[in-house]
Amino acid sequence: MKLPPTASQTSGPFLHLGLTLRNSLATLAGRHAQGERMRLCCRITDGDGRLVPDAVVEIWQANSLGKYQHPEDTQQKPDDPDCYGFGRLPVGEDGCCMFETIKPGRVPGPGDGLQAPHFNVSIFARGLLQRLVTRAYFAEDPGNGEDPILALVPAERRETLMARPDPSQPGNWLFEIRLSGKDETVFFDV
CATH number at residue 110: 2.60.130.10
Report the C-alpha gap between 162 and 5 in whole angstroms.
40
Residue 5 lies inside a defined structural domain of this protein: no
pLDDT per position as a tens digit, 149-184:
999 999 999 999 999 999 989 999 999 999 999 899
Residue-level pLDDT at 154:
97
Residue 174 lies inside a defined structural domain of this protein: yes
Instruction: Give every residue of the chain whose pLDDT is below 70, as ranges.
Output: 1, 3-23
Domain extent for 134: 15-178
pTM: 0.88
Report the C-alpha gap between 131 and 55 in whole angstroms.
10
Residue 81 lies inside a defined structural domain of this protein: yes
Report the C-alpha gap between 104 and 9 in whole angstroms.
35
Phi-psi region of 111 (alpha: psi -120 to 50; beta: other; left: phi over 0): left
Strands of the chain (E only): list them. Answer: 37-45, 56-60, 86-90, 96-102, 118-124, 132-138, 162-165, 172-178
Residue-level pLDDT at 174:
97
- The β-bridge relationship of strands 118-124 and 56-60 is antiparallel
The domain tally of the chain equals: 1
Tell me: cis bond preceding 167? Omega within 30 of 0 counts.
no
Residue 130 lies inside a defined structural domain of this protein: yes
